[in-house]
């Protein structure tokens, strides 16, 4: 008797990098190779002289 290997193709996994623009504040480290649906880990809040950090937003014009 001969047995033959059966192969299933691995699914394509989309990976993303998340970068943070601190708009004049201290640098925020990017998060690399996140799979679709993965949660982004909240980074430390950036600081900027004369300002209080409020939040990160998707739009650059806010």
- pLDDT tens digits in sequence order for the chain, 62 residues long: 999 999 999 888 899 999 999 999 999 999 999 998 899 999 999 999 999 999 999 877 76
pLDDT at 60: 72
Query: CA–CA separation, 32 vs 48, rounded Å?
Result: 25
Is the distance from CB of 60 to CB of 38 less than 8 angstroms?
Answer: no
Can you give the residue ranges of every domain in the chain? 13-38
Is the distance from CB of 4 to CB of 24 less than 8 angstroms?
Answer: no
If we measure between CA atoms, which residue out of 3, 10, 11, 44 comes closest to residue 26?
44
């Amino acid at each position: 008797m001969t047995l033959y290997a059966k192969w299933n193709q691995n699914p394509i996994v989309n990976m993303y990098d998340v970068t943070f623009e601190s708009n004049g504040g201290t640098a925020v480290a990017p998060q690399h190779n996140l799979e679709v649906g993965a949660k982004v880990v909240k980074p430390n809040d950036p600081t900027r002289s004369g300002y209080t950090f409020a939040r990160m937003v998707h739009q650059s014009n806010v």
